[in-house]
Amino acid sequence: MADLAARPRLRDSVIVQADGGTLLFLCLADRTVKKFTCDEFVKDVVGLLDGTRTIDEIGALACGGGRNARARVTEVVEILAGERLLSHSAAPEREFRLLGEARAEFYDRQLRLLQDFCDEGLSPETSGAGLQRRLGNSTAVVCGIGGLGGWVALALATAGVGRIRVCDFDRVEASNLTRQVLFRTADLGSSKVAAAAVRLREANPFIEVEAVDRRISGAGDLADVVAGADIVVNAADLPTPNDMAAWVSEACWPDIPHIMGTGYAYHIGVLGTSIIPGRTACWSCVRAETFADHGRDGMETVVGRREKAGAMGALSGLVGNIVAWEAIRILTGLEPALGDRWSEVDFWPLEIRSRAVPQRPDCPTCGR
């Protein structure tokens, strides 16, 4: 039953149009359309669902309400609630302001998106402010702050992840500037993590940024880097992508969610996989599933991986922002999209291709 003391409110992502005795609810969130037959009373009720009135007040204002107005309004509200057309918050902006006026203004558009996720039932939170608090209380680590990691870190920073730790050992070079979004010509020769930390703090004054200038040569080098993290994104590829992935995964296991195998070159972007310990396949499962493809595990390398590969800022940004979105989903408790699969995006047709990666019951790392 509807709460008669509540102040029902349509979701901001819903547009309502009328044609005679028909109401169309256009759901911008998922591009669905819901159609209902109605009378003038129902039209009036829908127009009054702005979160400022109780059910009794709506019944008194709707035309032809009469003695049964409360029951009729309640029926309309229950139907709309069942169709997920109503917001879980009667006054979301008031809840946003509880974050502080400055933060509410800074995150305004994002808070409205997060609110719609709550209204859609994608989170147990009822307010977008609750999801924003989760981000603000989170710690993210980005290993590798170049063409991919820079975009990831920037997206996490502007989203309001409270503490971001960036790890790299490299210096800014001229060839970095076309795709590594955090660096400027004035940064040439500077430490990447130092320059990145400055830009991230400029992008969002409400977050903390820690720079770790370090070359990684094993999982032990990452122990203090990942300590206390809620998510770790591996965007490093030296000495090799597989070495870094193995070390990051070992350092994170068995407590820290991590996104692995991400990268890009030419017209393929590797989104990789999300590993949630205890829930998804681990890095050992991924390697077991993919390493023997085409019999490569038994082959001798004649011509190896090139030192330099073709890349472009727009493409690295596409991969980096998808990976950052996955990290945000994990941090806020929304369902991750990249777990138990290996995913790549082909830039030319703009298609994401995925292959299932099952969790192996006999896996020495994550097997049950």
Are residues 164 and 250 both part of a single domain? yes
Q: Which residues pair with 27 in a beta bridge?
A: 14, 32
Are residues 167 and 269 both part of a single domain? yes
* 368 domain-assigned: no
CA distance 201 to 67: 59
Pairing of strands 263-265, 268-275: antiparallel
Per-residue 3-state assignment (H helix, E strand, C coil) for 267-288: CEEEEEEEECCCCCCCHHHHHH
* 348 domain-assigned: yes
Are residues 151 and 294 both part of a single domain? yes
Question: Does position 115 have pLDDT exceeding 80, yes or no?
Answer: yes
Q: What is the pLDDT of residues 59-88, one digit of tens each?
A: 999 977 677 899 999 999 999 999 999 999
Domain final position from 100, 125, 150: 125
* 51 domain-assigned: yes
Residue 321 token pair? 């922002």
Do you know the residue count of the chain?
A: 368
Are residues 78 and 107 both part of a single domain? no
* 361 domain-assigned: no
Question: Does position 142 have pLDDT exceeding 80, yes or no?
Answer: yes
Mean pLDDT score of the chain: 92
Question: Does position 300 have pLDDT exceeding 80, yes or no?
Answer: no
* 4 domain-assigned: no
Q: Are 179 and 313 in contact (CB under 8 A)?
A: yes
Are residues 188 and 271 both part of a single domain? yes
Residue 201 token pair? 């703090």
Are residues 270 and 300 both part of a single domain? yes
Residue 366 token pair? 């994550």
Q: For residue 1, what pLDDT is reported? A: 37
The percent of residues in the chain predicted with pLDDT above 90, rounded, is 83
Average pLDDT over residues 193-208: 98
**Structural domain total, the chain:** 3
Backbone phi, then psi, for 317, in 5-degree steps?
-65, -35
* 133 domain-assigned: no
CA dihedral 237, 273, 114, 332 (to 10 degrees): -90
Question: Does position 139 have pLDDT exceeding 60, yes or no?
Answer: yes
Domain that includes residue 37, residue range = 14-82
Are residues 97 and 78 both part of a single domain? no
Spatial strand order of the sheet with 32-37 comes to 14-19, 22-27, 32-37
- Stated pTM of the model: 0.93
Q: Where are the beta strands (DSSP E) in 10-138?
A: 14-19, 22-27, 32-37
Average pLDDT over residues 196-222: 97
pLDDT band at 303 (very low <50, low <70, confident <90, very high): confident
Are residues 36 and 180 both part of a single domain? no
Are residues 352 and 205 both part of a single domain? yes
**Could you give the angle at which helices 313-332 and 128-136 cross, rounded to 10 degrees?**
110
- 64 or 225, higher pLDDT: 225
- 297 or 129, higher pLDDT: 129
Q: For residue 264, what pLDDT is reported? A: 75
Question: Does position 138 have pLDDT exceeding 50, yes or no?
Answer: yes
* 7 domain-assigned: no
Q: Hunting for tokens 């977008």 — which residue is that? A: 128
Question: Does position 4 have pLDDT exceeding 50, yes or no?
Answer: no
Question: Does position 309 have pLDDT exceeding 90, yes or no?
Answer: no
Are residues 108 and 246 both part of a single domain? no
Q: Which residues pair with 264 in a beta bridge?
A: 269
Q: What is the pLDDT of residues 358-367, one digit of tens each?
A: 999 999 998 8
pLDDT band at 311 (very low <50, low <70, confident <90, very high): confident
Are residues 188 and 107 both part of a single domain? no
Are residues 247 and 343 both part of a single domain? yes
Burial category of 11 from C-beta neighbours within 10 Å (exposed 0-12, middle 13-18, buried 19 and up)? buried
